[in-house]
Amino acid sequence: MKDRLIIFLLLLCFSASLFSKELSIPLNNSLHGLAEYTEGDKDKPAVLILHGILQTRNFSTTQKIGDFLEESGYTTLRPTISLGVDSRKTSLACEAIHTHTMESDIEEIAQWVQWLKKKHQKIILLGHSAGASLLVAYLDKYKNTHITPEKIILVSLAYFGNRPSSNATSAEIDKARKAVAAGQLGPASFGFIYCNNYVSPPEAYLSYIEWSQQRVTEGLINISSPVSLLFGAGDKRIEQTWPAKLSEMGMDVHITDEANHFFHGSHEFDLLDFIENAVDS
Amino acid sequence: MKFSLKQYAFLLSCLTIFIFLGFGWYTYNQIESAKIILADWKFKSTNEELSEAITKAAEQGTQAARKFAEWGESGQQILNSSFYSYWREQRMMSAGFLPTNTLAANLYNVQGESLSDVSELTLPFRIDPQKLPQHFIIHEKNNVAHAAFFAPVYSQGGKTTIGFVSISLPILPLISNYKFYHIDEKSIKIKAKSGHTPMTEIIHYIDYEKKKDISSVVVQTILDNASQGLLIASLIIAVLLYVLLGYGIKRPLQSLIDHIYLLRKNPDFLHSGRFLKELPIKELNEVSQALNAYQEELNNVYGSLDEKNKELLELANTDALTSMKNRRAFNEHWQQVCHIAENSRLDICMMLFDIDHFKAINDSYGHQMGDEVLVAISGLINSEFRKGELLYRLGGDEFGTVIINCNEKTGLEIAHRCNESVSSFNFSSLGIMEKVQISIGISCTQSGNKADLDNLSWQADSAVFQAKRPGEQSVMAYQPEMAASSRSLFSNWIYSAVFKAIETGDGIKIHYQPIVELSNNTINYYESLVRIQHKDEIIPPSHIFPIISARNLDMEMDQVIVKAILDDLEKQRIPAGTGVSINLSGPSVSSTDLINWLQPLRKYLKQYKLVFEVTETALISQMSKATDNLNKLKSMGFLIALDDFGSGYSSLRYLGSMPVDIVKFDISLIKDLENPKQHKLILSLCKMINEIGYEMVAEGIEHTETHQRVFHAGFDYGQGFLYGKPAENFKTNKPR
């Protein structure tokens, strides 16, 4: 298996971009969203791959997953969530004014799923980190009215509220809530995930915070499609016991020993092995 | 004009300096031209550099504006400007998308309206979206010039313009950021200019200083140093050239020249001195070698000449008949002896030998036999001499020698030995039946006194004369009484005066006796007759010629006389239209050198009648040579007169064979005219001679009667006291 992966990685450099094209679609908020679309075998399901918070589709983990799947003959769609920036191509700094909300993100995902569904009957949704939690939120919002993916693959699924090692402390959350209560809706600096100075209107900030471990777990439970989860045993961004709890709840949870949130180093192979198995199943 | 080698060296040195300076001047001019070209190029380059720096600055500013426009958050703010003020203050400048020295930035919506309601001094509040400012705004703020840059903000991957950005940057850092080569970026200043100025014109408002071109300074320094070096080098080379030529060439050349001068001044050096110095210059060395080779050749030539000279000297000093030394050698030897003996106490002995009755032997047995006798006797005498003593043939049958360190006693012993040797010789082996004897006279002195030495000659002569006297011993030493008894007429002073006159010409006086043309009684020419004056006395010919004859000095005397006559001719003492007759002795007439020493008279032939008088006696010996000489003299224009005609025994024989023009009858024949018996004979003789064509001169005419007789006898000329005695002064008046 590893030999195949090595050959794949060598070929990746030469062929990956040959069949890819960048998409730009008007979003509902008068912005434009960008995505990379690679057409694969028609008999294989198309995979929508979603990046983590503030990142782009070119983030390394999702880039590797996408490349691997494209090489394996899967059609992939890798959108970049605009986060309020027209045709965003770069990651968004913590200090930028974050007017985007969980809902605006979900709507963009919905638009991309709709766009993909028009081309493919079978789709798989794959998310990494906050992208996985956005997929959970999207599926939670559109569980009855929307399409049903063939498979949901969540890697290093994360949540925003009550998250360990996050700057979104209770004090920060309270500050946001008080601001909202006081009608102070202008941008302010908050602690958020890894950002110390996350500038955002408090309402927009709180739209993410509401998606805590519990809220995500509830969303998972409500997903009708098969869900496969992969966690790294060394992922510090979630409560360590959470994957086990999910597993105990009967979910398809895979844990890679010592792997961190991004499956760096040799754990990349474990990640891709998991993806391969997950999309094939 | 000629220069010395040192002067040439100096000129060459000057020329070298001149060439170097000329080259240096040319190079300096070229460098100055290059400097001007370089300065011009620098000026252009500086302007081009500044223009390029401004263009680059504009590009950098525009690039910064584009980056600002492409920043996602700029578009985010244009599309949703709800929190623009917050973003502008909190985020825009610190996000790192604007240059750190950005003074101001602004966003505009698609209509060109500023998103901010705050007006910036350095940025426009509103822009024309259809026409973005293409020029830059230069505005004074805190004395800092600024430039504004604009860029559109696109959406949908650059398809749609959604707004605009502007940034204000200080222009100076942008320009100074350029890598200048010619301009000192720290010196760049933009002059104050309010309002908007197009970027293209900003160059006119920029002051700057050029960078110090270290390379050109270095090059200039190098060139200056090179120029100084060139000057010093030229001076050194010039000095070296001067020294090299002056000393390297001149000294060896001078050495050669000195050597050649030495050769010239001192011929002896030729035999010993070679130029031995090895010269540093190849050509000079070859010259010295050639000089040595030439000197060697010259040595050989000199050596050869020396040998020839020695041979010639030997021949000149040797008597051809007897192989003994001749009179010339005797004279030289005598002078050397005098030189040595003077002021010394050396015994000097002069010895003279004379063959008794030698004329009779000659007459009886002929000259050949006489010669054999001379050879035999000279050999016999010489064999009795000690080593180093030489026998000299002084003339005819007279021999002599001078012996040093020889007193009278020893001299007599030697003389006796010689006499005995001759007496005992068997002359019959030569065919001579009579006894042949010699007379020997010796004279010795020890005084070292010059007068005594001078007297030795005539004293020895007197001794010989005494020894020849009948009844006297054959060997005689000079005794003072001999001078009185034998040749009392030849006193010491006469000898001395005669010899001195021959030697130096002193005392020689020529007396001229007129020879008159009988037909008109006019002086036709004069016969020159020699006298010697000593103090107040005149020595007559009768005293002079015996000494001359005894010493065989005839030719020398003739030469002295000719010289004196030449002097008179030169001084025109001899009356014009006349002539001179000169007596020549026998030895002179037959001398091989006669023509040469008479040559100076030739030039007076046009003015004077010049006659040489020779006697029968003179013609007897060396007849052939005498005839040859007289023929040559005749052909040159001289006249020849046969003197004393009729005094000898074979006058007619000689007259027939000799080239004679004039016949001078001996006085005895003229006297015979008085005798009736002989008168006819003389007349017949005169007639005969006259018919042959000879002119005739009658001597000894003292009376008018005699004059009449000779005139009638057919004589052409007359000479005698009747016409004039021999006198120093010329008689020019007509005789009676």
ipTM associated with this complex: 0.82
Pairing of strands A252-256, B183-190: unpaired
Closest Cβ opposite residue B72 in set A24, A85, A199:
A85
Mean pLDDT for the stretch of residues B50-71: 89
Closest Cβ opposite residue A87 in set B86, B87, B156:
B156
Q: How far is B83 from chain A (nearest CA, A)?
A: 7
Mean pLDDT for the stretch of residues B21-46: 84
Same domain, A65 and A178: no
pLDDT of the residue at A221? 93
DSSP letters along chain A, please?
A: -HHHHHHHHHHHHHHGGGGEEEEEEE-TTS-EEEEEEE---TTS-EEEEE--TT--TT-HHHHHHHHHHHHTT-EEEEEE--TT-TT--SPPPTTS-----HHHHHHHHHHHHHHHHTT-SSEEEEEETHHHHHHHHHHHHTTTTS---SEEEEES---SBT-TT-S--HHHHHHHHHHHHTT--S-EEEEETTEEEEEE-HHHHHHHHT-BHHHHHHHHHH--S-EEEEEETT-TTS-TTHHHHHHHTT-EEEEETT--TT--TTHHHHHHHHHHHHHH-
Q: Which of A151, A184, A210 is the last residue of a domain?
A: A210
Q: What is the pTM of this model?
A: 0.48
Model confidence at B352, pLDDT cuts 50, 70, 90, reads very high
| Interface contact B76-A186, CB threshold 8 A | no
Contact between A190 and A172 under an 8 Å Cβ cutoff? The reply is: yes
Q: How far is residue B75 from each of residues A22, A109, B61, B126, B691, measured CA to CA in Å?
A: 20, 22, 19, 18, 174
Query: What sign results for the dihedral spanned by CA atoms A176, A177, A183, A185?
Result: positive
**Distance separating alpha carbons of residues B722 and B568, to the nearest angstrom:** 25
Same domain, A127 and A256: yes
- Nearest Cα neighbor of B508 from B451, B559, B454 is B559
pLDDT of the residue at A16? 46
How confident is the prediction for chain A on average, in pLDDT? 90
Residues B259-271: pLDDT tens digits?
888 777 776 666 6
**Distance separating alpha carbons of residues B298 and B318, to the nearest angstrom:** 29
pLDDT of the residue at A65? 95
Q: Report which secondary-structure segment, H or E, holds B729.
A: none
**Residue ranges making up the domain that contains A72:** 2-92+99-159+212-280
Residues B538-547: pLDDT tens digits?
888 877 887 7
Domain count, chain A: 2
Same domain, A88 and A194: no
3-state secondary structure B533-598: EECCEEECHHHHHHHHHHCCCHHHHHHHHHHHHHHHHHCCCCCCCCEEEEECCHHHHCCCCHHHHH
Same domain, A82 and A195: no
Q: Which of A210, A243, A269 is the last residue of a domain?
A: A210
Same domain, A14 and A149: yes
Same domain, A243 and A253: yes
Residue B576, token pair as written in the block:
């014009």
pLDDT of the residue at B265? 76
| Interface contact B73-A85, CB threshold 8 A | yes
- For residue B68, pLDDT beyond 50: yes
Residue A60, token pair as written in the block:
């390394």
To the nearest 10 degrees (0 to 180), the angle between helices B250-265 and B5-70 is 170
For chain A, give the percent of residues with pLDDT over 70: 93
With tokens 């005895």, the residue in question is: B668
- For residue B207, pLDDT beyond 80: yes
Closest Cβ opposite residue B95 in set A30, A85, A93:
A93
Same domain, A81 and A177: no
Q: How far is A185 from chain B (nearest CA, A)?
A: 11
pLDDT of the residue at A17? 45
Q: In this structure, what CATH number is given to the domain that contains residue A18?
A: 3.40.50.1820
Half-sphere exposure of B693 (CA within 13 A, CB side): 4
Query: Which of A40-49, B84-93, B548-557, B581-590 is predicted least confidently?
Result: B548-557
Same domain, A178 and A260: no
Same domain, A104 and A148: yes
In angstroms, the first-to-last Cα distance of chain A is: 17
Smallest CA–CA distance from B73 into chain A, residue: A85
DSSP 3-state assignment of B7? helix
Residue B582, token pair as written in the block:
């000169």
Model confidence at B157, pLDDT cuts 50, 70, 90, reads low
Same domain, A194 and A55: no
| Interface contact A84-B80, CB threshold 8 A | yes
pLDDT of the residue at A131? 96
Residues B451-481: pLDDT tens digits?
888 888 888 888 888 888 767 788 999 988 7
| Interface contact B72-A93, CB threshold 8 A | no
Same domain, A177 and A235: no
| Interface contact B82-A99, CB threshold 8 A | yes
Mean pLDDT for the stretch of residues B177-202: 78
Model confidence at A112, pLDDT cuts 50, 70, 90, reads very high
A24 part of contact set with chain B, CB < 8 Å:
yes
Same domain, A150 and A21: yes
Phi–psi pair at B167, nearest 5 degrees: -135, 150
Q: How far is residue B5 from each of residues B10, B278, B617, measured CA to CA in Å?
A: 8, 20, 71
Task: Give ∠ CA B330-B334-B338 in degrees, rounded to 5.
Answer: 175
> Taking a contact as any Cβ pair under 8 Å apart, which residues of chain B between 70 and 99 contact chain A?
72-73, 75-77, 79-80, 82-83, 86-87, 90-91, 94-95
Mean pLDDT for the stretch of residues B267-295: 75
Contact between B146 and B103 under an 8 Å Cβ cutoff? The reply is: yes
